[in-house]
Structure 1
Amino acid sequence: MTLLQKLQNEIVVGDGAMGTLLYSHGVDQCFESFNLTNPEQVQRIHQSYIAAGANVIQTNTYGANFIKLSRYGLEEKVHQLNQQAVKIAKRAANEDTAVLGTIGGIRGVQKRITSKKEIIRSFQEQFYTLLSAGVDGILLETYYDMDELMTILKIAREETSLPIVTNVSMHEPGILENGTLLADALHQLEELGSDVVGVNCRLGPHHMLEALETVPIPNHAHLAAYPNASFPAYENGKLVYHQHAEYFKQCAASFREQGVRLIGGCCGTTPEHIAAINDATQTLAPITSKQVKPKVDIITQAAPPHSTATSLKDLAKERHTVIVELDAPKHLDTSLFFQGVRELDDIGVDAITLADNSLATPRISNTAIAMKMREIGIKTKLLIHLTCRDRNLIGLQSHLMGLHTLGFNEILAITGDPTRIGGFPGASSVFDVTSGELTRLIKQCNQGRSFAGTSLQTQTNFHVAGALNANVQKLDRTIKRMKRKINNGTDYFLTQPIFTHEKIISLYRETQHLDTPIFVGIMPLISHKNAEFLHHEVPGIGLSDEVRARMQAHRNKKDAKQEGLQIAKELIDTAIHYFHGIYLVTPFMDYHLTVELTKYIHDQTKNQSMRKEHVHYDDVY
């Protein structure tokens, strides 16, 4: 009797975890490599599950694809590992055992890790190997990304008539990472031809049952559930799952009441858990109807605006707009910082932007300093930098929720300088996501969904800026990255400081077809030493020979600073001819320089007729 025939009339018991058992025996390496190095141990685990009552076992191939095996230098052994896994499972199986070829999901929140093209290539290599080795069906399990799962399911369904089981994974009960409700996701998989649709991993029986209460019995497919044993504990440097096998006996009957016909186990489950499932279900018939709870309500309300002020994106489309960067101090004396803040506020800059531990050097928290600025009555809009370097996904979402709660909605999403260049080179860089991925996740919050896809109960209203480096020989790659960021939701860009007219003009020519505002970075030089340091030692900044020569001609600090101001003004003349946005970077807390440059910008852009009188730099350069 085939697997699908069995599922028509009975509850079918699947196996439990493979990796967890190997890990509990002291194996802390690529579990799939044991197919070649220790096949007897893998076979014993299969046999122990069959002895416990499993009618369906899965090959030890969850991560046996090119992408995952490359982490261990085993990417050239995809065929051997998968073929050997099927042989081991078939040696362990009896005539009533179905052997499913397991293919695990690749993508999580970090979409950057692999492209869809790479995923398809990796999947096809493993999939065709499993088919040729003679599996009885395919199990696609632990998929957080619906787009990935639907993509490969379409390929699999076209290539085989064997049973296909598709199990999605949820961070939170009832909803997938992209905000799709579980019931809707399983229906989509059924429509694409999956024979069995279900859930596995991440959640234990309690939350998995809670999610399945919202799922109707499929029209054509069957339901599956492979819960984790529990949440793992961390004991003596190892992740440990506590047994509670008897609890699984109670839960197995509850899964049956939700219409599940294929019940197995995922992380932390053992043959004892599978024996408990078998004991609970062997005399039970599948149900054909159920009472379905209403779907999880993820409708969110739009967040009330914290301010009626126009966003920086919209301001830069309407008129010339000035953003000034003034970094929070590296020490606890804030007197000079707040003097500068007050003068910039008085002169009428459109926004003050606050870096997030720039150059991997600790400063006063930009959120804390922003709150203090609000307390002392600063009315200027604040643009908060948010780096991926210092926070994992948990910290990033928590921080964003805090910024929203405090009423800050202008964010500059940046990857961040690696810690090795800063004051604590031994510190860890997190980099769970890149700035582009962070932007996508922030815009997901604007839809009322958390990083995990769950409802935030209200929508955030963040405007997201991106960093842009124009100081490269060819701008084409920069523009490609820029377009990717725009696709992720970037609203406007701030460039690195630019020190040549030609770069400003080139940037305009390459981006004039885009509707996304750009704020051109201008930083006044204060000395020849400062100019040489920036040119030779700071990534992403390059000075022309002319600028370096002009700064070298002034050894007197006062004269050098005036020359630096003059150079900045000349660059501003070019920038405001082509762009509405100017981003002034304050050097060494010398806010007097940015105050003077802001006044200069205001004077130069006071009326349209003055702008029309400027030299047309296309003719000059």
Structure 2
Amino acid sequence: MSLLERLQNEVLLADGAMGTLLYSYGIDFCYEELNIEKPEIIEKIHREYIKAGADVIQTNTYSANALKLTRYGMEDRVEELNKAAVRIARKAAAPSQRFVLGTIGGMRGIRKSSVSLADIKASFQQQAEAILLEDPDGFLLETYYDFEELTTVLQLLRQMTDLPVISQVSMHEPGILQNGLSLNHAFKQLEALGANVVGVNCRLGPYHTIQAFEEVTLPEKAFLSAYPNASLLDVEDGRIVYESEADYFGQAAVHLRNEGVRLIGGCCGTTPKHIEAAKKALAGLAPVTEKKVVAKKPIIIKEPAPLVVPPLQEQVKKERTIIVELDTPKHLDTATYIKGAKALQQTGMAAITMADNSLASPRVSNLAMGSLLKMQHQIRPLVHITCRDRNLIGLQSHLMGLHALGLHDVLAITGDPTKVGDFPGATSVYDVSSMELIQLIKQLNEGISFSGKPLKQKANFSVAAAFNPNVRVLDRAVKRLEKKIEYGADYFITQPIFTKEKIVEVYEATKHLPTPIFLGIMPLTSSRNAEFLHHEVPGIKLSDETLARMKAHENDKEAAALEGLAIAKELIDTAAELFNGIYIITPFMRYEMSIELIHYIEELDRKMNERGITHVQTIFN
């Protein structure tokens, strides 16, 4: 009798964790390598689960794909490791005629860019083909947080085989995927794509797994599966542990059966004792064939409060818009900073942008300073957010705080590595890339947490992205802009540009883009400043002419500053005719220089208007 025929009339028990037992043995290298080097260990674990009562066991192939094996230098052993794993499981299962599932694990977490779908498909196909060579009873696709990845590989597998496929998602929150899709709707989509069994595994313990299934209806053709963790994980003396009694897991198995689950196994933390307890608890229980689901009252996600002023990306499409960077101080005396911000406000500029610990050096929190400027002085802040300093928890908390304070203008950037700053031994986080951060911020705008949980209200962030045009191959940089637009960028802010030729080149290379660009202009303050930027700051190069002009005033600070302003004004002459957005970067708190440039732009616009010249980018006309 086949696996699906058995599931038609029975509740079947699957095995528990493989990695948990290997971890408890002190094995800390590639588990899949044991299929060749120590097959007796893998076979012993299979037999222990079968003895405990498992009707279905899975192969030791969760990470036996080229992408994951690369970290061990074994990417060329995919076929060898997978074939060996199926043979080991077959040998262990043969005496008792248990079913063997070829396991293929998910690769993506929250970071979609960690691996492309093309690479996933190639790696998946290679692994699936190797498993198929040894004739498994079916496939188990498990621990898929990214639903796009799971649907992609499921469709690919369905083209390769008619064998039963168990497709299991993993959730951060009970009953909902990280993209906000409900578990019930996810199961319906997987069933429609050809999954014979749909279910969940990992991350959540029995309690939350049962809770998730309470809102799941019985599939029309497929069956339900659940492989919960033994419990929530804990760490003791640097080791991961799971606190859960086997009897509790057995009771949970009955509750899962009552919710219509027909294939019940275990994930992280579970052992043969957990499976044995589940076997005893489920003895004599027939599968549930009818289930009444009482839908819970849906969480209403409120629309955000309307913005008092239009988003910068809308404003700059209609009129000249100037934003000014004024970085918060590295010390606790903020009086000069407030004075400078108020002086800039008087010019009518649109917003003050504040870096997030630029060059990896600590400054007064831009969230705190931005809030002060907004609440006490009615100055619009544009807050930079780096991926360097905060993990996913911190990023979402930070963004929720910005929303609560009414700070809706943000710039998502990667952030300079810590080794360039004041604390070179500090840790750089980089849980996500700047593109992924943009995408996650836009997810908050839909009222959905990074984990997929509804937030009861939509945020209304306007998200800028960084653009470094000071590169050898500008076309590649523009391709990154196009990618950032796909991820949700509303507009771009460039690093400072120091030649007219580069400004024109940037315009020609980006005029097809549907998103506006604020072109960066930074006045030089001295010859030393120019030399430092040219020789030491990545991504910035000055022309020989500019260096020579600043060099001519190396012994006269006042004359050097005037020359720096003159150079900046010449650049503005070109930028103002091609770009509607100007981004003035204030050097060393010299806000009086930024003010002079703002007045220069205003006078330039007046003259251009008198001549009937429009400065709005062609794409927005």
Short-chain TM bin? over 0.9
Distance 1:479 1:354 in 2: 25
Q: How does 1:127-146 map to 2 (within 5 A)?
A: 127-146=128-147
Task: Describe how 1:372-387 pairs up with structure 2 within 5 A.
Answer: 372-377=372-377, 379-387=378-386
Distance 1:548 1:605 in 2: 29
Query: Is 1:388 matched up with 2:387?
Result: yes
Would you say the 8 A contact 1:174–1:296 is kept in 2? no
Residues in 2 aligned to 1:118 and 1:610: alpha-carbon distance in whole angstroms: 57
Deviations 1:209-261 (A, max 9, x none): 11111111111111101000001111011001123111012111111111111
Contact 2:63–2:105 (Cα < 8 Å) also in 1? yes
How far 1:612 sits from its partner (Å)?
4.4
Letter in 2 for 1:396: L
Q: Map 1:252-291 onto structure 2 (within 5 A).
A: 252-291=253-292
How do 1:184-199 and structure 2 match up within 5 A? 184-199=185-200
1:79 maps to 79
Count of aligned pairs:
613
Q: Name the SS for the 1:467 alignment partner.
A: strand
Does structure 2 retain, via aligned residues, the 8 Å contact 1:171–1:202?
yes
- Contact (CA 8 Å) 2:374, 2:380: kept in 1 or not? no
Task: Give the 5 Å matches for 1:532-571.
Answer: 532-555=531-554, 556-571=556-571
2:497 matched to which residue of 1? 498
Taking the aligned partners of 1:495 and 1:467, their CA distance within structure 2 comes to: 6
| Deviation readout 1:520-565 (Å, 9 max, x if unpaired) | 1000001111101000100111111111111111121111110000
1:409 matched to 2:408? The reply is yes
Question: 8 Å contact 1:448–1:456 — kept in the other structure?
Answer: yes
Of stretches 84-93 and 459-468 in structure 1, the one that deviates more from structure 2 is 84-93
SS for the counterpart of 1:605 is helix
Structure 1 contact 169–201 (Cα < 8 Å) conserved:
yes
Q: What is the SS of the residue equivalent to 1:520?
A: strand
| Matched residue SS, 1:283 | coil
Does structure 2 retain, via aligned residues, the 8 Å contact 1:604–1:611? no
Letter of the 2:273 partner, please give it. Answer: E
Q: Is the 8 A contact 1:445 1:451 kept in 2?
A: yes
Q: Which moved more, 1:241-250 or 1:414-423?
A: 241-250
Task: Confirm or deny: 8 A CA contact 1:388 1:438 kept in the other structure.
Answer: yes
Structure 1 residue 69: Cα displacement: 1.1
More deviation in 79-88 or 454-463? 79-88
Shift of 1:32: 1.3
Which position in structure 2 is the counterpart of 1:318?
Answer: 318
2:505 aligned counterpart, secondary structure: helix
The 1:516–1:291 alpha-carbon spacing in structure 2 relative to 1, beyond 3 Å, is same
- Secondary structure of the residue that 1:151 maps to in structure 2? helix
296-305 or 562-571, which moves further after superposition? Answer: 296-305
Whether the 8 Å contact between 2:371 and 2:407 is mirrored in structure 1 is no
Q: How far did residue 331 of structure 1 move?
A: 0.9
1:486 Cα shift?
0.6
Taking the TM superposition and a 5 Å limit, the aligned residue runs for 1:131-530 are 131-294=132-295, 297-305=298-306, 307-377=307-377, 379-530=378-529
Tell me if structure 2 keeps the 8 A contact 1:181–1:296. Answer: no
Aligned partners of 2:512 and 2:61: how far apart in 1?
A: 48
Q: Is the 8 A contact 1:11 1:282 kept in 2?
A: no
Q: How many angstroms does 1:99 deviate by?
A: 0.4
**Residue equivalent to 2:55:** 55
Compute the displacement of 1:131 (Å).
0.5
Q: Which amino acid aligns with 1:277?
A: A
In the TM superposition, what is the alpha-carbon distance from 1:374 to its structure 2 partner?
A: 2.9
Runs of 4+, deviation exceeding 2 Å? 295-299, 606-615
In the TM superposition, residue 29 of structure 1 has moved relative to its aligned partner by: 2.0
- Other structure's SS at 2:588 match: helix
Q: Which runs of 5+ in 2 are unaligned?
A: 616-621
Q: Give the match for residue 618 of structure 2.
A: none
Q: Distance in 2 between matches of 1:4 and 1:614?
A: 70
Amino acid paired to 2:447: G
CA displacement at 1:600 relative to structure 2: 1.0
8 Å Cα contact 1:298/1:454 also seen in 2: no
Confirm or deny: 8 A CA contact 2:608 2:614 kept in the other structure. no
The answer (yes or no) to whether the contact 2:145–2:170 under 8 Å persists in 1 is yes
For 2:42, the equivalent position in structure 1 comes to 42
CA RMSD of aligned residues (A): 1.3
- The CA distance in 2 between the partners of 1:367 and 1:296, in whole Å, is 36
> How far off is 1:39 after superposition?
1.2
Q: CA deviation at 1:475?
A: 1.3
Q: CA deviation at 1:7?
A: 0.4
Q: Could you tell me whether the CA contact under 8 Å between 2:169 and 2:201 is conserved in 1?
A: yes
Letter in 2 for 1:224: S
Instruction: Report if the CA contact (8 A) 2:373-2:380 is conserved.
Output: no
Give the drift of 1:376.
Answer: 3.1
Instruction: Give the direction of change, closer, same or farther, for the CA distance of 1:81–1:613 in structure 2 (3 Å limit).
Output: closer
Give the corresponding residue for 1:23.
Answer: 23
What SS class does the counterpart of residue 382 from structure 2 fall into?
Answer: strand
Distance 2:567 2:350 in 1: 23
Q: Which residue of 2 aligns with 1:13?
A: 13
Of residues 581-590 and 292-301 in structure 1, the stretch that sits farther from structure 2 once superposed is 292-301
How far did residue 380 of structure 1 move? 2.6
Structure 1 counterpart of 2:596: 596
Q: Amino acid of the residue matched to residue 253 of structure 1?
A: V
Does the 8 Å contact 2:62/2:104 carry over to 1? yes
**Mapped partners of 2:548, 2:319: distance in 1:** 34
Q: Distance in 1 between matches of 2:604 and 2:375?
A: 33
3-state SS of paired residue (1:606): helix
Q: TM-score, normalised by structure 1?
A: 0.97
Q: Distance in 2 between matches of 1:178 and 1:198?
A: 17
> CA separation in 2, counterparts of 1:541 and 1:218?
59
Hey, what's the Cα distance between the residues in 1 that align with 2:523 and 2:154?
56
Q: Does 1:585 find its partner at 2:585? A: yes
- Taking only the aligned residue pairs, the percentage that are identical comes to 56
Work out the CA distance in 1 between the residues paired with 2:613 and 2:478.
31
| Distance across 1 between alignment mates of 2:361 and 2:569 | 30
**Equivalent-residue separation in structure 2 for 1:463 and 1:245 (angstroms):** 50
Query: What amino acid maps onto 2:539 in structure 1?
Result: G
- One-letter amino acid of the counterpart of residue 397, structure 2: S
Query: Are the counterparts in 2 of residues 12 and 56 from structure 1 also a CA contact under 8 Å?
Result: yes
Range with bigger deviation, 355-364 or 549-558: 549-558
Amino acid at match of 1:595: I
Unaligned runs of 5+ in 1: 616-621
Look up the SS of the partner of 2:48 in the other structure: helix
The answer to whether the 8 A contact 1:500-1:544 is kept is yes
> What letter matches 1:376 in structure 2?
Q
| Cα separation, 2, equivalents of 1:414 and 1:218 | 44
What is the SS of the residue equivalent to 2:167? Answer: strand
Secondary structure of the 1:460 match is: coil
